[in-house]
Amino acid sequence: MQSMSALSQLEQESIYILREAVAEAERPAMLYSIGKDSSVMLHLALKAFYPLKPPFPLVHVDTTWKFKEMISFRDQTADRLGLELIVHTNADGVRDGITPFTHGSRLYTDIMKTEGLKQVLNRHRFDMVFGGARRDEEKSRAKERVFSFRDAHHRWEPRGQRPELWNIPNLHRHRSESFRVFPLSNWTELDVWRYIERENIPVVPLYFAAERPVVEREGQLIMVDDDRFPLAAGEKPQLRQVRFRTLGCYPLTAGVDSSARTVADIVKELEEARSSERCGRLIDFDQAGSMEKKKQEGYF
């Protein structure tokens, strides 16, 4: 019998993870961050429970600084699939006027993303939460389990992770403890795009190259997505053909020069690529051991 392709193996393993977590969960949810990884994860969930709808809501932590195109894509997706969408914004942060420009990326991420996330998880008492993170994104993620235990304060303890043996996860937990579950743990960026191509999965158009208004800040191309962007005196956004390899908050996500206008172009670009994916994510570099610290505090 012919063996499955690498991509199909990854797909089948992810479906196993989705089903296992839902079967053991009391209140599952999917953290839907609107990016390509979330798109793939959602597509896999549609397959895993077919013909049932995925038996959990989508949760989006809206920092109010996402790209406009992301928000409209999010609403269209939930609508098209008829899924429950829970959108949460940290009202305290909004009240205190926390923005990436005024408070720095570190404090901003802490309050608007990590705190916002904990608020919505606590409010709904979710005990299994899917995230689209992949181990190849970042070195501390490479160390994380597929089923990652969190204590009652959502903290990750990297030095005391439960062993993960065969296909038998230990999902035993006490009240208010939870798991973050990463079905795409073993996928690479290239796998994600090859799969999007194979399965014809819709993604936010920001991934494709187009003329966009950008300014250059410390060698990074930042898109001016709305009029909240504080331009320096004499600074004027330039139109440049860029695309985004990852999508986050627009002031903290740099675009890259690219002419890839289709999924096939992107796959080709990546197969020849010489730089890694999160190099445009400014928050990964705002302190040493940056991601690990954020994760210990409860960031995805």
Partner 1 sequence: MAAASDLLRFLACGSVDDGKSTLIGHLIELTGNLPDDQRRTLEEESSRIGTAGGKLDFSLLMDGLMAEREQGITIDVAHRYFETGRRKFIVADTPGHESYTRNMATGASNCSAALILVDATLGVLPQTRRHALICVLMGIKNLLFAVNKMDRLDWDQKEFRRVEAQCGQLATALETFGLPSGGSTVTPISALDGDNLVTLSDRMPWYQGVTVLDWLHGLEPAAGLPHQEFRLPVQYVIKVARSGAGWQQGVSDKVKHGAGGTFRAYAGTISSGSVQRGDQVAVLPAGFTTEVTGIRIGDHPVERASAGMAVSLTLKGEHDVVRGDCIAFAGGRPEIANLFKVRLVWMHEEALFSGRSYVFRSVFGQASAQVTSIRSRIDLESCLRLSADRLELNDIGEADISLARSLPFDPYQDNRETGAFILVDRVTNATVACGMILHRLRRSENVHWHHEEVGRVERAALKGQRPCVVWLTGLSGSGKSTIANLLERALVGQGRHTMLLDGDNVRHGLNKDLGFTEAARIENIRRIGEVAKLMTDAGLIVITAFISPFRAEREMVRQLLPEGEFIEVHLSTALEVCESRDPKGLYQKARQGLIPNFTGINAPYEAPEAPQLRLDTGKLSPEECCEAIINCLNASSVGR
Contact status: 218 vs partner 1 (CB under 8 A): no
Contact status: 228 vs partner 1 (CB under 8 A): no
Structure tokens at 168: 């038998």
Contact 15, 181 (CB under 8 A): no
Q: Sign of torsion, CA 214 217 220 224?
A: negative
Q: Which of 26, 95, 97, 167 binds partner 1 (CB under 8 A)?
A: 167
Structure tokens at 253: 């996500």
Antiparallel, parallel or unpaired: β 210-217 and 147-150: unpaired
Q: Which of 95, 159, 175, 236 binds partner 1 (CB under 8 A)?
A: 159
Q: How far is the CB of 86 from partner 1 (least distance, A)?
A: 17
What is the Cα–Cα distance from 129 to 49, expressed in whole angstroms? Answer: 16
Contact status: 202 vs partner 1 (CB under 8 A): no
DSSP-H helix ranges across the chain: 6-24, 36-48, 68-81, 91-95, 100-108, 116-124, 189-199, 263-271, 290-296
The burial class, CB within 10 Å (0-12 / 13-18 / 19+), for 17 is: buried
- Binding to partner 1 in span 11-70, by CB under 8 A: 12-13, 15-16, 19-20, 22-23, 46-53
Q: Which of 92, 96, 164, 235 binds partner 1 (CB under 8 A)?
A: 164
Please list the residues that pair with 217 across neighbouring strands: 220
* DSSP code at position 231: P
Q: Where are the beta strands (DSSP E) in 224-288?
A: 238-243, 254-257
Q: How far is the CB of 266 from partner 1 (least distance, A)?
A: 14
- Binding to partner 1 in span 281-300, by CB under 8 A: 288-289, 292
Q: How far is the CB of 7 from partner 1 (least distance, A)?
A: 7
Q: Which of 97, 163, 219, 234 binds partner 1 (CB under 8 A)?
A: 163
Q: Provide the binding-site residues for partner 1, judged by CB under 8 A.
A: 1, 3-7, 9-10, 12-13, 15-16, 19-20, 22-23, 46-53, 81-82, 135-136, 138-143, 145, 158-159, 161-168, 170, 172-174, 185-186, 188, 194, 271-276, 279, 288-289, 292
